[in-house]
Amino acid sequence: TTAPAANAKANVVILATGGTIAGAGADASNSATYQAAKVPVDKLIAAVPSLGALANVRGEQVFQIASESFTNAQLVQLAKRVSALLKQDDVDGVVVTHGTDTLEETAFFLDLVVKSDKPIVVVGSMRPSTALSADGALNLADAVATAASPASRAKGVLVTMNDEIQAGRDVTKRVNIKPSAFVSQWGPLGMVVEGKTYWFRAPVKRHGTSSEFDIDTIDTLPDVAIVYGSGTMNPAAYTAAVQGGAKAIVHAGTGNGSVAGYLVDTLKDLRAKGTVIIRSSRVGDGFVLRNAEQPDDQYDWVVAHDLNPQKAKILAAVALTKTTDTKELQRIFWEY
Ligand code: DGL
């Protein structure tokens, strides 16, 4: 499929899922006290009249939930809808409005499984539209401008927050009540200013059409648990996760993704029974390598590289739809 002719306005579909961008507070003083997932997509669009100058826009209400409530089934349903829309010649890009709590997981999931070079932009807001200096309207306009721009093609899933364009793979919510909440340890890809995108970097990790994963062949995702590392841990947290159905456990370890000596036997036992063990780090900008402080080769563990625990959970769930081989899983964690 080709990009729209240079002077034609792009056709952008906004898929609304809820979150604060659809939130409402009691009055303008409420920037943190409000209810998420209230305002329907057509009202979101009507509240930003300038969208019509950026693209031909139409909306669909896929869900109306606070994003902490997203389930794997809803991730799959959303990705299938995005994939189907981008196959249509009359759709040039998709914007997904989303709560910010799990926006980073949804953005990475779509990055991995939607096989299209057309722009997919996930966007949220840190303040409800009813608040002073609400950020949702500009974030949404930036998202539509980015989804409408041919320069956004083949750059993976993008996230527009606070004037910046972030890679869906890298971006994470680092703060819970500031418009500057979303950061990437490798930096933003670009900026949107007055409806125009400015690019400075492009992703190098596999995504979209270069991904080996395809949402059209995925109907369910396996359960993956995260156990948060600290001092004085209880091994039962890991065995309970497996008893609850987890096929893999992401260990959000201290520092280098470290594992307390008294946990090793439990993890080795779970591994021996088929559970995949993935070491990530609880630190903000983790970077976990094999056999650094932990004998991953000896224990047959996988390392999450630069992916934080929640991103590692998404990649593990997608990878496990194809393989349980730990050498293949480690390749996947190096390549995506
Ligand atoms: N409940 C949170 C969510 O839906 C609100 C945070 C937000 O959307 O900014 O993710």
Give the tens place of pLDDT for each residue, 315-325: 999 999 999 99
Q: What is the pLDDT of residue 130?
A: 87
pLDDT surpasses 70 at 135: yes
pLDDT surpasses 80 at 258: yes
Whether 20 is catalytic is: yes
pLDDT surpasses 70 at 3: no
Six-digit token pair at 140? 């949404």
pLDDT tens-digit series, residues 161-211: 999 999 999 999 999 999 999 999 999 999 999 999 999 999 999 999 999
Give the span between the Cα atoms of 55 and 128, in whole angstroms. Answer: 24
Strands (E), the chain: 11-18, 24-25, 34-35, 56-65, 93-97, 120-123, 158-161, 164-167, 172-173, 182-183, 190-193, 196-199, 224-228, 248-253, 276-281, 302-303
Give the span between the Cα atoms of 296 and 38, in whole angstroms. Answer: 47
| Contacts of residue 238, Cβ cutoff 8 Å, sequence gap at least 6 | 227, 249, 251, 263, 266, 267, 270
Confidence of residue 6 (pLDDT cuts 50, 70, 90): low
Q: Does residue 136's CB lie within 6 angstroms of at least one atom of ligand 1?
A: no
Q: What is the pLDDT of residue 34?
A: 78
What is the DSSP annotation of 175-227?
A: -SS-TT-EE-TT--SEEEETTEEEE-----S--GGG-S--GGG------EEEE
Give the span between the Cα atoms of 120 and 166, in whole angstroms. Answer: 12
Q: What is the pLDDT of residue 5?
A: 61
pLDDT surpasses 90 at 311: yes
Q: Does residue 66's CB lie within 6 angstroms of at least one atom of ligand 1?
A: yes
Coil, strand or helix at 41: helix
Q: What is the pLDDT of residue 36?
A: 80
pLDDT surpasses 60 at 4: no
- What φ, ψ does residue 13 adopt, rounded to 5°? -105, 130
pLDDT surpasses 90 at 329: yes
Q: Does residue 126's CB lie within 6 angstroms of at least one atom of ligand 1?
A: yes
Q: What is the pLDDT of residue 133?
A: 93
Binding-site annotation: residue ranges: 67, 100-101
Quickly tell me which residue has 């709590």 as its tokens. Answer: 101
Residue of 17, 20, 97, 130 marked catalytic: 20
Confidence of residue 143 (pLDDT cuts 50, 70, 90): very high
- From the CA of 69, give the closest atom in ligand 1: 4
Q: What is the pLDDT of residue 241?
A: 98
Provide the terminal-to-terminal Cα distance of the chain, rounded to the nearest Å.
25
The helix (H) or strand (E) run that includes residue 161 is: strand 158-161
Q: Are 244 and 227 in contact (CB under 8 A)?
A: no
Give the span between the Cα atoms of 168 and 313, in whole angstroms. Answer: 15
Confidence of residue 33 (pLDDT cuts 50, 70, 90): confident
Do the interacting molecules here have an ipTM over 0.90?
yes
Percent of the chain with pLDDT over 70: 98
pLDDT surpasses 90 at 289: yes
Give the span between the Cα atoms of 86 and 114, in whole angstroms. Answer: 9
Distance (angstroms) between ligand 1 centre and the Cα of 187 equals 23
Q: Does residue 139's CB lie within 6 angstroms of at least one atom of ligand 1?
A: no
The helix (H) or strand (E) run that includes residue 332 is: helix 326-335
Q: Does residue 65's CB lie within 6 angstroms of at least one atom of ligand 1?
A: no
Confidence of residue 31 (pLDDT cuts 50, 70, 90): confident
Lowest mean pLDDT among 16-30, 111-125, 184-198, 245-259: 16-30
Binding-site annotation: residue ranges for substrate: 67, 100-101
**DSSP count for the chain of H helices, then E strands:** 10, 16
Coil, strand or helix at 109: helix
Which amino acid is present at 4? P
For the chain, what is the mean pLDDT?
A: 96
Q: Which residue did the predictor score with more confidence, 51 or 5?
A: 51
Whether 266 is catalytic is: no
Lowest mean pLDDT among 2-11, 117-126, 282-291: 2-11
* Neighbour count for residue 120 (Cβ, 10 Å): 30
pLDDT surpasses 60 at 14: yes
